[in-house]
Amino acid sequence: MLFLLFSAALCRSSMLSLILTVLFKDGKELSVINNLADAIIHGRSGTGKTVPAGPGVFEEIRESTKYRDNMMFANSTAAKLIRDEIKQKIATHPAGTIESKTGFKQHICFQCDTLGNFCGKMNYVATYKPTDCGTHVTASAYYFGVDPWDFVPNAGSSDSDNFWREQLPGKLVNLRGNFKVYDITYNISETYEFDITN
């Protein structure tokens, strides 16, 4: 997390703001988390209340190459899953709607500054209809989950990674206020339109 705290801030030219938050800002209950400073301030409020991620966090998530490759655009992994399922259906059902089961794709993990490493689930829904050249598809994929803001070492990470991303940041966040573990919920969607040619 410390690495994330400082690398994130450097990339966004907000290092000073983040340092001031870590060193001097007390807690305050927030209704949405848009960045790392918000996450620190809400955690220091001591309420422990679950808070949704806002547009700022979604922007961070969308900056990740892994997220873009898996979730965004008509050539993403999610769009390819949808395309493959529709290709199987159009022989017997030339038009219709497909929908994934709840959380069909378990534990897809990404990383962003505010949430660190986080693993959620993905669902999708798509409608398709025949055209002169093939099949036109309109689809949406949804990535959702809950990320505990707890600074607990990750069993799948190295000791060094846990020190920099969890243990040291936890100590820094606990410098002020009454930090209490809480959850950040997220639900981000992507929309695709593409054609499957005959």
Using one digit for the tens of pLDDT, what is the confidence trace for 36-89?
Answer: 899 999 999 999 999 999 999 999 999 999 999 999 999 999 999 999 999 999
Predicted structure pTM score? 0.82
Specify the 3-state DSSP secondary structure of 188.
Answer: strand
- Rg (Cα) of the chain, in Å, rounded? 20
Which alpha helices (DSSP H) does 26-94 contain, by range?
36-44, 55-63, 65-71, 77-89
Written as six digits, the tokens of 160 are 């060094």
What percentage of the chain has pLDDT greater than the value 70? 88
